[in-house]
Amino acid sequence: MYQQQSQMNRQQSVLQDQDVANIVLSECKRIAREYATAALEANHPAIRQTFQTLLQKTLQDQAQIYTIISQMNAYGDVKEASWQEIQQEIQKQMQKVGQLQTLVQQSLQWGLQPQAAAYQQPMNQPNNQPAYAGNQSYSYNQAQGSTFASGAAVGKSAQDYSMSTAKSSDYSSQSGSYSFGSSSSASEQGSGKSGMSYASGSANSSKYV
């Protein structure tokens, strides 16, 4: 250490180039994490947008400084995964995804019938569910309204979605994959992407309320 320093012939700073670069890199990583958390927990659309933009910038800066560090060979070894490891993982994951596909197919076929029946039920008793569903889509619009232009359409499909899932509780307990089955059955109904993004929206909005 001491030898290295005297060789450098630069005594004004203990930190060398690569140290400084690595500190900046760590700071960028830490700041990116904080921006991600801040964006996830933001309430106001404009503020969420700001955090999102700054997160993007921070990621770019981090990549830039990392490129320089790796060019300086100052980051240390980045160990590559072995061919065998990759092949093993591919086998394992392909099997899992296959099973998941079968499960989803089964849930969809299974879930469509009870859901059709459940869809009738709220029509007969409109007094308990619509208030809840309306509330949900309201907070959803607050959280995500600025990013989705089709707010009204999304709100409507979200209503359908929350009604059907709320009523088909027997279906969800039996299938064992509640979230998966319900969100893909929402897409089956034609609400498609909006049903899925509603699911993420409601997860966020539960923090705001």
Partner 1 sequence: MLTQQQSNKGISSKELAYITDSLKNEELLVKLCAQGAADCQNPQLKQTLSQLAQERLNNCDQLLRVLQQQSYTH
Binding mask 128-147 for partner 1 (x = CB under 8 A): --------------x--xx-
59 is an interface residue for partner 1 by CB under 8 A: no
Binding-site member from 6, 7, 71, 173 for partner 1 (CB under 8 A): 71
**Sequence-separated (6 or more) residues with CB below 8 Å from residue 15:** 23
| Placement of tokens 């700001």 in the chain | 50
Binding-site member from 29, 36, 52, 57 for partner 1 (CB under 8 A): 57
Q: How far apart are CA 164 and CA 186, in angstroms?
A: 9
204 is an interface residue for partner 1 by CB under 8 A: no
- Are the C-beta atoms of residues 158 and 136 closer than 8 Å to each other? yes
**Sequence-separated (6 or more) residues with CB below 8 Å from residue 166:** 129, 132, 133
Alpha helices, H only, 125-209: 129-144, 151-167, 169-175, 178-188, 192-208
Q: Smallest distance from the beta carbon of 60 to partner 1, in angstroms?
A: 9
Binding site for partner 1 (CB under 8 A): 10, 12-13, 15, 17, 20-21, 23-24, 27-28, 30-31, 34-35, 37-38, 41-47, 50-51, 53-54, 57, 61, 64-65, 68, 71-72, 142, 145-146, 149
